[in-house]
Structure 1
């Protein structure tokens, strides 16, 4: 629904299949089963057949509604705003707050609106790109995707920008983690104290499976340690002194005399 022409490349979906919680055979099990909603144009392109207005509401709209109701902020302040959570130690330079306030109020073409996205200038175009990535991350199980995988959605979502540079310009919205050669972008607002603020069923199952795997590893290490201890206990090593006697030879006469008595 975020695609301007209503189509997506299946290859791009396949790359983030796990992040979206899709099964391995999603082409058959999802597209085939819900043929009233999806249609395979060719082997690598899927088109949206139906349009549901209720589903065409971005996740951030829920936050905006809460801000409007609970904090008594005006619609002018919340209609196009995003939750901002800067990292600890983030340096705020002079004039930054005013620029941020202006950006928060800036209108843009929302992800599910099919309009000319390039109309309105570079700032609005970039803000729409931020909104699309924000929405895509919101749709994932763990609110994260590898940066390189996001690049495969640029044409379909009409966000022809350098993904990494864009994400780095908005540290209050996105967080990039680097592990080896892979960079993963997280939706900053979705996490608190190392876990999701609003866990979903798939996320909960994955966490439980991970805990079971880690528990199994710990128990395996404990069993190996016990086996090593038993093996060392069974292998008694006796040292021989210069007279050819071994440690423990003193006990043999004592035992023999005890048997005679």
Structure 2
């Protein structure tokens, strides 16, 4: 409840919804089921799954969602046996789906250098250049890592990584620091646009109506429709945008947490972490798992809400998810890695194209 003063009601805090980004989560529901079922089938020795065993793999409740997918997409899944056939009913990939699925191997080969680079950067962001193995496993799918990366990837690069047992908990350690990797995705974008070393004088910098600012320490902002910023707010944003801050790759122990520059650095750390994922998004729980190693803000949710021009929090789907706004054009991810391109190709077997336009723009809800 809010206290009133002088008969005036205080303004309620508004978090503006963006339907296009909420729709990102809605659009991935069926594809997620299809890709998961594909993986389950491929993991079987016979490359087929008895329908009676489906519940063991996905649980009783989810079983019915998978059964609906099997029935709806005969172009991907084929059911054999049952009825007059004496063999129990089983599901397998169609011949066309098998041919398309075979392309994943090449996508994985193309992904390997990306994964190695991003794993190194992930470790370089931490205070001790190491991250608990279970934390990495928690975001493994989002990074594009193979499920067995501990055996199939890490041992191939002993000059980069090592596994160490610290007080009963396994960590992935960085073996060698590479300064050439200590460049953020934000800095790479600014370099491409020729803005990283801009010499624009602060006094000449104009306040943009959308909060964007041309400078080496600026972040791209995208405020939602319905959010109306006054000039004092934009002036505050301009000061924040031009304020320098320590690199996310600088050890957090060397930064005073109460310093405004340190708080801006924390935003940069979150920005970089999301940039290391395939779809530039993580659940709130996944972000919070890095709290200790990355020295993330104690009030992480408030930090994300405050910087709603950079991050978007959607409650669509099973879990609260944080999305990096600049990575999307409407509901579409603008840059896709090889594994995502393969998945798109496989999902074309559904027999329909993803709808690129979104219904509605954005709305607001009270929080």
- Structure 1 residue aligned with 2:172: 46
Kept in 1: contact 2:129–2:173 (CA 8 A)? yes
Instruction: After superposition, give the CA deviation of every residue in 1:202-225 in whole Å (9 maximum; x if it has no partner).
Output: 22122222332x329xxxxxxxxx
SS of the residue aligned with 2:217? coil
Equivalent positions of 1:209-228 (< 5 A) are 209-212=346-349, 214-215=350-351
**Change over 3 Å in CA distance of 1:120–1:166 after alignment to 2:** closer
Q: Please give the alpha-carbon distance, in whole angstroms, between the structure 1 residues aligned to 2:195 and 2:321.
A: 34
Q: What residue ranges of structure 2 are gaps of 5+ in the alignment?
A: 1-123, 203-213, 353-367
Q: Relative to structure 1, is the Cα distance of residues 78 and 44 closer, same or farther in structure 2, using a 3 angstrom cutoff?
A: same
Residues in 1 aligned to 2:182 and 2:282: alpha-carbon distance in whole angstroms: 21
Q: Shift of residue 147 of structure 1?
A: 1.1
Structure 2 length normalisation: TM-score? 0.54
- The aligned runs of 1:226-245 (5 Å cut-off) are none
Shift of 1:62: 2.0
Q: 1:75 to 1:23 in 2, by over 3 A?
A: farther
Counterpart for residue 181 of structure 2: 55
Match for 1:185 among 322, 326, 333? 322
Separation of aligned partners in 1, 2:161 and 2:329 = 36
Change (3 A) 1:66 1:173: same
C-alpha distance in 2 between matches for 1:16 and 1:184: 13
Of the three residues 234, 242, 258, the one matched with 1:97 is 234
Between 142-151 and 118-127, report the one with greater CA deviation: 118-127
Out of 34, 39, 64, the residue aligned to residue 157 of structure 2 is 34
Q: Deviations over 1:64-90 (max 9, x none)?
A: 2245459x7628652211111112222
Match of 1:155 among 289, 292, 296: 292
CA shift at 1:163, angstroms?
2.3
Distance 2:342 2:183 in 1: 27
CA contact (8 A) 1:117 1:125 kept: no
Summarize the Cα distance change of 1:97–1:141 in structure 2 as closer, same or farther, 3 Å threshold: same
1:162 offset after TM fit, Å? 2.5
> Quick one: higher RCO (CA 8 Å, sep 6+), 1 or 2?
2
* TM-score when normalising by structure 1: 0.75
Is 1:146 matched with 2:290? no
Question: Contact 1:64–1:79 (CA<8 Å) still a contact in 2?
Answer: yes
**Which residue does the alignment assign to 1:171?**
308
CA RMSD of aligned residues (A): 2.3
Counterpart position of 1:6: 129
- Equivalence for 2:147: 24
Change (3 A) 1:75 1:92: same
Q: Secondary structure at 1:155's aligned position in 2? A: helix
| Secondary structure in structure 2 of the residue aligned to 1:51 | coil
Q: Which runs of 5+ in 1 are unaligned?
A: 217-261
**Which structure is larger by alpha-carbon Rg, 1 or 2?**
1
Going from structure 1 to structure 2, the CA distance change for 1:183 and 1:115 (only over 3 Å counts) comes to closer
Residues 75-110 of structure 1: per-residue CA shift (max 9 Å, x gap): 865221111111222221340111001111222221
**Secondary structure of the equivalent of 1:102?**
helix
